[in-house]
Amino acid sequence: MSSTPEGSSKAKGRPAQAKGKADRPAPAPAPTQQPTGFKSGFACFVGRPNAGKSTLTNALVGQKIVITSSKPQTTRHAVRGIVHRPDSQLILVDTPGLHKPRTLLGQRLNDLVKSTWAEVDVIGICLPASDKIGPGDRFLVAEAAKVAKTPKVALATKADLVEPERMLEHLTQIQELGEAAGIEWAAIIPVSATSGFQVDLVTDELIQLLPDGFALYPDGDITDEPEETLVAELIREAALEGVRDELPHSIAVTIDEMGLREDRPEDKPLLDIYANIYLERDSQKGIVIGHKGARLREVGAEARRQIEALLGTPVYLDLHVKIAKNWQTDAKHLRKLGF
C-alpha cells in the first residue's frame, strides 16, 4: 500500500543522501592549537521507560532527532544529538529505558544502555517529577553508581506536570536516593522539555562537566544518525500512535530503498521511500492496516509529513506490512532488523 503526496508541497532542495555507518561524518579537523577553554564530550540520558529522555534530547538539540511516544520503550538504539556553542560541543546520547527484560530484544537494549554508561563523560539520570520514586528508579541509580568515576546529574523531568510542593518533595527524594546509592550528585535540576523550563540550565551544567577538547563534529551537524534510520524511526513513531497492549513492542520498520526519483526537474524533487512495517503475528496486521487500509494510510500520511519536515523535500512513501514471527525473541530476526 502506498502513501503518496497529498496536494503540492512548497519544500525545496534536495535531501542529503542517506548515510551508512561507514559514511558517518568524520570528526571536524583538529586545529593546530587547542582553543582556550573549549569543552567537548559525551553525555547520556538514562531512566526508566517513558521518563522523558527523548523529549529532553530533542529540546537540547533544538530539533527533533529522536522519536517520542506515550508508549514506553520507544527508543531502541543509542541516538546521538549534537549541541553546538562557541566555546563547546556537547554530544548527547539518548538510550533506551532500562527495564526488566522479557525478550532477547529487551536484554540487548539493557546491555546497550550499560555499555553506553561506560563510554560517556557525564550521566544524566531522568527521574520524572510526575511519578513517585519506585523500585525501578532505585535499581537504575544503584546500577549507575557502579560507574563510579563518571559525574552524574539528576534531572527531575516533566516539571510542568506538578505543583511546587510536589517538586520540593521529589527533589528531596532524589537527594536521598543518591545518598543511599553512594552518589554525590553534581547537580539536581528540575526541567521541562515541553515548556522549555531550565532546558538551557541543563545544557550549561552538562557542558561544565565535560573535559577540555576540540570539536568532534562539523558545525551545523545535529546528529550522526543515517537518514535512512531517521526515516524508519519516523514511520515507526506514526505506526505506534493509537495501538494498544503489546503491539507497540511488536512493531519494527526497515527501509528497502530510498532515493531521489530520476528525471525530475531540479526545483521539483521527489524522494521515493519503500519501507516495511514488521509485526510478530498475522492477527496484528488488521490493527495496523485497518478497515480497507484506512489505518495504514493514516500512518503513511503522518510519517510523510514528518519526513518532509525533516528532509525538506516532497516524499512518495510506499509502505508494506510483513510478518517476522516472534522477532523479539529470535536472534536471526533481530540481526535482520538491525538489533
Q: Is 71 annotated as a binding residue?
A: no
User: What is the reported pLDDT for 108?
Assistant: 54
Q: Which CATH class is domain 226-336?
A: alpha beta
Q: Is 158 annotated as a binding residue?
A: yes
% of the chain surpassing 70 pLDDT: 72
Q: Which of 311, 246, 233 is nearest to 272 (CA)?
A: 311
Q: Is 53 annotated as a binding residue?
A: yes
User: What is the reported pLDDT for 20?
Assistant: 36
Q: Is 332 annotated as a binding residue?
A: no
Cβ partners under 8 Å of residue 12, min gap 6: 267, 312, 313
Q: Is 331 annotated as a binding residue?
A: no
Comparing 194 with 10, the larger pLDDT belongs to: 194
pTM exceeding the 0.95 threshold for the entire prediction: no
To 10 degrees, what angle do helices 53-61 and 199-208 make? Answer: 80
- In angstroms, the CA 96 to CA 118 distance is 15
Q: Is 87 annotated as a binding residue?
A: no
Q: Which CATH class is domain 36-208?
A: alpha beta
Q: Is 51 annotated as a binding residue?
A: yes
Q: Is 160 annotated as a binding residue?
A: yes
User: What is the reported pLDDT for 249?
Assistant: 65
- Answer whether 316's CB lies under 8 Å from 326's CB: no
Distances (CA, A) of 161 to 21, 62, 68, 142, 157: 39, 21, 17, 26, 9
Q: Is 5 annotated as a binding residue?
A: no
Q: Is 196 annotated as a binding residue?
A: no
Look-up: residue for cell 544518525? 225
Q: What own/partner pairs with CB < 8 Å and gap ≥ 24 does 304-309 have?
A: 304/3, 304/5, 306/64, 306/234, 306/237, 306/238, 307/231, 307/234, 307/235, 307/271, 307/273, 308/9, 308/11
Q: Is 94 annotated as a binding residue?
A: yes
The dihedrals phi and psi of 197, each to the nearest 5 degrees, come to -60, 115
Q: Is 98 annotated as a binding residue?
A: yes
% of the chain surpassing 90 pLDDT: 42
Q: What is the mean pLDDT of the chain?
A: 80
Q: What are the domain boundaries of the chain?
A: 36-208, 226-336
CA 317 vs. chain centroid, Å, equals: 22
40: pLDDT strictly greater than 90: yes
HSE of 217 in the Cβ direction (CA atoms, 13 Å)?
Answer: 20
Among 108-122, 142-156, 189-203, where is mean pLDDT lowest?
A: 108-122
Comparing 102 with 133, the larger pLDDT belongs to: 133
261: pLDDT strictly greater than 60: yes
- Answer whether 177's CB lies under 8 Å from 138's CB: yes
Q: Is 32 annotated as a binding residue?
A: no
- Split at pLDDT 50, 70, 90, the class of 37 is confident
| Average pLDDT of the segment spanning 221-250 | 76
Among 99-113, 240-254, 321-335, where is mean pLDDT lowest?
A: 99-113
